[in-house]
A and B are shown apart, each in its own frame.
Chain A
Amino acid sequence: QVQLQESGPGLVKPSQTLSLACTVSGGSISSGSYYWSWIRQPAGKGLEWIGRIYTSGSTNYNPSLKSRVTISVDTSKNQFSLKLSSVTAADTAVYYCAREVHFWSGDYYFDYWGQGTLVTVSS
């Protein structure tokens, strides 16, 4: 059974960089046809896709955040990471890591999610 677990500081100061890691257990992050994704959800609001990294290391980012986001992978730790720079209060949210699986048929979906971690941006 695949499990994902987010980790990182719960409080970040404005203008600083938010850094989170997602540790994958129950399977290798570098095998299979998977995209490793970050999604966030401000309190009481909907879900926003931040971006993803493929097992090959290629990345895709949401254009609304692209200038501030970096997603990377560390296969030795079976982990992928999110860095979001120049944060403001608007970046306060629960951050989820998730696995997006894709099939030859063209179907994609998020099948495994972490439990989520709340990151608050405040001085």
Chain B
Amino acid sequence: DIQMTQSPSSLSASVGDRVTITCQASQDISNCLNWYQQKPGKAPKLLIYDASNLETGVPSRFNGSGSGTDFTFTISSLQPEDIATYYCQQYNHLPRTFGPGTKVDIK
């Protein structure tokens, strides 16, 4: 299985701050990476696919980059509604695997 790691596991930032989350794959997955947002009690929601493509309807303050084994997810200006846990997920191989998540809070 491809193992996914994320850092940090949690962070606290102020409204308007730039937030960065990193995701690392245990082997080269090219650009086969998605990012999801999960709010408490809700199903995950797709934000970014193919490492850097913004899903339709998702605000442009969300951004993804990277390829190979190292990926970055950025919120350019944190908003109160962005409070959630964010997961990366690889689709280069089966089984599909997710990172452990990064919980984002407002300071």
Do A and B bind?
yes
A residues lining the B interface (CB < 8 Å): 37, 46-49, 51, 60-64, 96, 98, 100, 105-111, 113-116
B residues lining the A interface (CB < 8 Å): 1, 32, 34, 36, 42-46, 49-50, 53, 55, 87, 89, 91, 94-101
* Cβ A60 vs Cβ B98 within 8 A: no
CB nearest to A66 among chain B residues: B95
Complexed CA–CA distance, A49 and B94 (Å): 9
Complexed CA–CA distance, A44 and B100 (Å): 11
Closest Cβ of chain A to B104, distance in Å, is 15
* Cβ B49 vs Cβ A47 within 8 A: no
Complexed CA–CA distance, A46 and B94 (Å): 17
* Cβ B46 vs Cβ A49 within 8 A: no
Q: Which of A61, A109, A114 has the most CB of B within 10 A?
A: A109
* Cβ A107 vs Cβ B43 within 8 A: no
* Cβ B1 vs Cβ A109 within 8 A: no
* Cβ B95 vs Cβ A110 within 8 A: no
Complexed CA–CA distance, A61 and B96 (Å): 10
* Cβ A109 vs Cβ B43 within 8 A: no
